Amino acid sequence: MKLYAERLPEQLSRQIAPVYLIAGPERLIVEEAADEVRKACRAQQIDERIRLSVDRSFKWDELGQSTETGSLFASRRLVELRLPTGKPGAEGGKTIRQWVDDRHEDVLLILCDQWDMQQERSAWVKAIEKAGVYVPAWSIKPAQLPRWIAQRIRSKGLQADNDVCDFLAERLEGNLLAAAQEVDRLALLFPGSRLELDEGRKAVADSARFDAFRLAELVMTGHAGSALRCIRGLRESDSPEPAVLWALGRELEIALIVARRSRRESPQRVFADLKVWQSRQPPIEACIRRNGPRRLEAAIGRLSRLDLLSKGQAHGEFWLELEQLCAGLASAPGRP
């Protein structure tokens, strides 16, 4: 069967299917759904896990061998197969279909990151749908995010008005993990309460003083001094370097697209096509006026270097180079 992640716990409470496929680009949904399967298996004394990952060195007979070798300690095991590309190829698809047809006692959990509608229609996926459960994990669209946040808030024992959910969605659009973390934090601050907009704004402001979203906003609006203070706060709080880059990179990429396309169409049309929230448009336009397409393109190139620095794949001082980039973008006098 095919069902969405919010219905998975109900299905698992009835029975554990022989095979689960959880696939899609929304990593948070994939991982949380996988955790639900693992939790249900443990509740049924399926404690042993076999983990396989499909890479260039992977041989598909490893999947069969993992189940042919019996366990000394458990009658059933959970076999996790990570298939990052979502494409097992002819041999892999045949192996998965054979595994399903053989009706193993073990539970097979397949996790895929890259996914599209064409993959969903493939024969091996249809075989899983027939014998087990397929959970798609599509990205949450901006228009769907307030409802997703509302469901998340209810699941944490909170209540919230629609304007609270809209406010959180606007602030956290495009980053489901950040939205989930913000809801978790609100649940700790206001356990079992009804959350009003003013409380939500204050709580978010308290957490946003030195966060990556605030940094992006300061850079886009041209507040160089405040941006540098924000960076120092992020550094002092040991914020993960890759996470610091995410929001700024998103805004700069949108700014470059708008700057290029605005030569032949209105910025409002471009913003509408990109589904950019109204409140984010003026800061982006201000950044475009200060920098122009060439400077924005160069800034995105420097962000790529910062990404390598954050991963230890290049030599340099991450925080110093981030300060230089943000100061330049925020204080640029005009287009080059």
DSSP string spanning 218-259?
Answer: HHHHT-HHHHHHHHHHHHHTT--HHHHHHHHHHHHHHHHHHH
Model pLDDT for residues 51-92, shown as the tens digit of each residue: 998 988 899 988 877 666 555 555 789 999 999 899 999 999
- CATH code that applies to domain 212-331: 1.20.272.10
Q: What is the pTM of this model?
A: 0.63
Q: Nearest Cα to 37, choosing from 128, 134, 157?
A: 134
Q: Is the pLDDT of residue 335 over 50?
A: no
**Cα distance between residue 176 and residue 137, in whole Å:** 12
Domain extents in the chain: 5-136, 142-208, 212-331
Domain 142-208: CATH architecture, name and number where available: Orthogonal Bundle (1.10)
> What stretches of the chain show up as alpha helix (H) in DSSP?
8-14, 27-43, 61-68, 89-102, 117-120, 123-131, 145-155, 162-172, 176-189, 197-208, 212-221, 224-236, 241-261, 267-274, 281-310, 318-331
- Tell whether the model's pLDDT for residue 173 goes beyond 90: no
pLDDT at site 336: 40
Closest CA to 255 of 225, 205, 302, 220: 220
Residue 154, number of CB atoms within 10 A of its CB: 12
User: For residues 313, 316, 318 and 320, what is the CA-based torsion angle, rounded to 10 degrees?
Assistant: -170
So what's the pLDDT on residue 73?
56
Tokens of 162: 């629609």
User: What percent of the chain is predicted at pLDDT more than 90?
Assistant: 53
Q: Is the pLDDT of residue 329 over 60?
A: yes
Q: How many CA atoms lie within 13 A of 113 on its CB side?
A: 8
Inform me whether the pLDDT recorded for 234 exceeds 90: no
- Rounded to 10 deg, the angle between the 281-310 and 212-221 helix axes is 130
Q: Can you read off the two tokens belonging to residue 336?
A: 């080059």
Q: CA of 319: how far to CAs of 83, 233, 302, 323, in Å?
A: 35, 11, 13, 6
- Architecture in CATH of 5-136: 3-Layer(aba) Sandwich (3.40)
The 8-class DSSP code of residue 14 comes to: H
With a CB cutoff of 8 Å and minimum separation 6, the contacts of 208 are 171, 214
Specify the range with the lowest mean pLDDT, choosing from 151-155, 222-226, 239-243.
239-243
- Least confidently predicted of 20-24, 30-34, 86-90, 328-332: 328-332
**Nearby residues of 263 by Cβ (< 8 Å), 6 or more positions away:** none
